[in-house]
């Protein structure tokens, strides 16, 4: 099975939010073409948390993340929009990071980002 990564000079519009959350913690969701969905934890490292915090309007100096299986809030009916996202931490949004094509993933919701 071959892998395809998508990058673009003109990133699509993505909006981010936290669900099942407090004001600063929760399951990370992004909206693409009107659909809200999850981000898979494959390749998600500190730099990914920095970019996500930036999108959410939070300071990134205390960014941290967990897999949803660590907090038991996976919702199977929610689509997974982003998988295998690669970051350097300087991107303003997750859309500007390299990733699999939208909605294509090889994981389940136990790997959602929280």
CATH of 15-111, one of 3.30.70.270, 1.10.10.10, 3.10.250.10, 3.40.50.1370: 3.10.250.10
By three-state DSSP, how is residue 47 classified?
helix
Nearest to 114 by CA among 18, 15, 17, 27: 27
Q: Is residue 99 over pLDDT 80?
A: no
pLDDT: is 70 or 39 the higher one?
Answer: 39
Domain ranges of the chain: 15-111
Please enumerate in sequence order all residues whose Cβ is within 8 A of that of 43, keeping only pairs 6 or more positions apart, or say none.
84, 85, 86, 87
Cα–Cα distance, 57 to 105 (Å, whole number): 27
25-54: average pLDDT: 82
pLDDT: is 98 or 31 the higher one?
Answer: 31
pTM given for the model: 0.73
Lowest mean pLDDT segment, chosen from 1-10, 41-50, 92-101:
1-10
Percent of the chain with pLDDT over 90: 1
pLDDT: is 72 or 65 the higher one?
Answer: 65
pLDDT level of residue 10 (50, 70, 90 thresholds): very low
Q: Which secondary-structure segment (H or E) carries 4?
A: none
């Amino acid at each position: 099975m071959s892998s395809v990564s998508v990058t673009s000079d003109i990133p699509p519009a993505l909006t981010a939010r936290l669900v099942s959350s407090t004001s600063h913690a929760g399951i990370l969701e992004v909206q693409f073409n009107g659909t809200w969905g999850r981000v898979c934890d494959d390749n998600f490292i500190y730099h990914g948390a920095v970019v996500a915090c930036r999108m959410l309007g939070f300071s990134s100096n205390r960014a941290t993340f967990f897999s949803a299986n660590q907090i038991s809030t996976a919702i199977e009916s929610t689509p997974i929009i982003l998988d295998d996202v690669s970051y350097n931490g300087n991107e303003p949004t997750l859309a500007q990071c390299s990733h699999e094509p939208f909605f294509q993933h090889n994981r389940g919701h136990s790997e959602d980002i929280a």
